[in-house]
Amino acid sequence: MLFSYYFFFLLGVILGSLITISSSSWLTAWVGFELNLISFIPLIFSSKLSSSSESGIKYFFVQSIGSMFILLGGIFPLFIGMITTYYFVYFSLLIKLGVVPFHLWFPSVMEGLSWEMAFILLTWQKLAPLILLASFEGLSLIILLTVMVGCLGGFNQTSLKKLMAYSSIMHMGWMLSVIPTSLEVGMKYYFVYFFFGLVLCMIFFFWNLKRLEQFLCCSMFLTMSILLIFLSMGGFPPMLGFFPKWVVINILLWKSMILAVFLIFASLVNLYFYSRLFYSSLFLSSYVMSLHSFSSKNEWSLLLCVSVSLMGGIFYPFFMI
């Protein structure tokens, strides 16, 4: 019964986003967003975590404001003017995506979610507003601020969920920088981001990891594996995460040299941050896993994920198509 309940609302989340992506009017896009919202909220509340209810209420409130702006912009252009309509829809999509200057809700909501719901919020819930923003221009300032906040916001964070939230904010900045120019490249970047989000959330879920201090009790193999995945996600060459960033930079060099240089600098700062973050944990980790015993199944699954993250070179032709 619980599985069918979960599957039913998960189907609503997927269907809502697909309706929004394929819509030809802002009214239809609003319907898709609403279907997605009313399906995702029960999934959040179904979690056993006591903090899920608070996160669910926050998420509902923020997304309702975003939907209200879309409704105003999509239905009343004749009454409020086309320019005002443009900004209504523009701001509503930024709110739903959780980027600067409407990003403050995102880490707060992430902190109270289970890892399953956190994965959906980090990945699938970003897809529809991201694609709709491809038709908007003049995002340079938003991109710069978003990447800056995502890069610096993770400093001094001990919560893994907030760390993932700020990492997501930074990656949204990268995707927004290229999607108006090349939706195809933006989607390839998104699929790589989706993969890393899936791998990390699965690791944190199966080993019940919530805070950085817990790595002191983990095996060196697990800590080293997570560090390598984070470095790959940050764009360390020649790992998997490096290639989408490299393609984005090549495109931006023809469009905005300043933006390209800023993104490179932010990526270097992010890599330094990831390295510093895990340095102490890596060398202080015990060799005996105290949180969970290492089963061969878990070990081989983790090894496979790390291998895919490291062998980025085999995916080079995929980004060149």
Pairwise CA distance, residues 218 & 306, whole Å? 17
Distances (CA, A) of 305 to 6, 209, 261: 26, 17, 31
Positions in the chain short of pLDDT 70: 1-3, 74-84, 278-321
Note if the pTM is more than 0.75. Answer: yes
| pLDDT for the residue numbered 194 | 95
Strand, helix or coil for residue 72:
helix
Quick check: is 125 in a domain? no
Q: Flag whether 315 is in a domain.
A: yes
H-helix segments, the chain: 2-22, 26-45, 52-75, 77-80, 82-97, 105-111, 115-122, 124-132, 140-153, 160-178, 183-206, 220-234, 242-255, 257-284, 296-310, 316-320
Tally of domains within the chain: 2
Rounded Cα distance between 188 and 88, Å, is: 29
50 C-beta neighbours (distance < 10 Å), count: 8
Other residues' Cβ atoms within 10 Å of the Cβ of residue 175: 25
On whether both 112 and 142 belong to a single domain, the answer is no
- Measured in degrees and rounded to the nearest 5, phi and psi for residue 211 equal -135, 155
Residues in the chain: 321
Q: Are residues 148 and 283 in the same domain?
A: yes
**Domain-embedded: residue 121:** no
- The overall longest dimension of the chain from CA atoms, in Å, is 67
Give the residue numbers spanning the domain of 85: 1-116
Q: Are residues 207 and 105 in the same domain?
A: no
pLDDT at 316: 53
Contacts for 211 with CB less than 8 Å, ≥ 6 apart: 158, 159, 160
Question: Which of 116, 147, 165 delimits the end of a domain?
Answer: 116
pLDDT for 213: 80
Q: Give me the pLDDT at residue 120, please.
A: 97
- Quick one: 107 and 146 in the same domain? no
pLDDT at 109: 96
* The pLDDT value given to residue 288: 44
Assess contact for 55 and 44: CB atoms under 8 A: yes
**Residue 177: which residues within 8 A CB-CB, separation 6 or more?**
139, 143, 248, 252, 259, 263
In a domain, 128, yes or no: no
The answer to whether residue 131 sits within a structural domain is no
Please indicate, yes or no, whether residues 163 and 259 belong to a single structural domain of this protein.
yes
Residues 106 and 162 in one domain: no
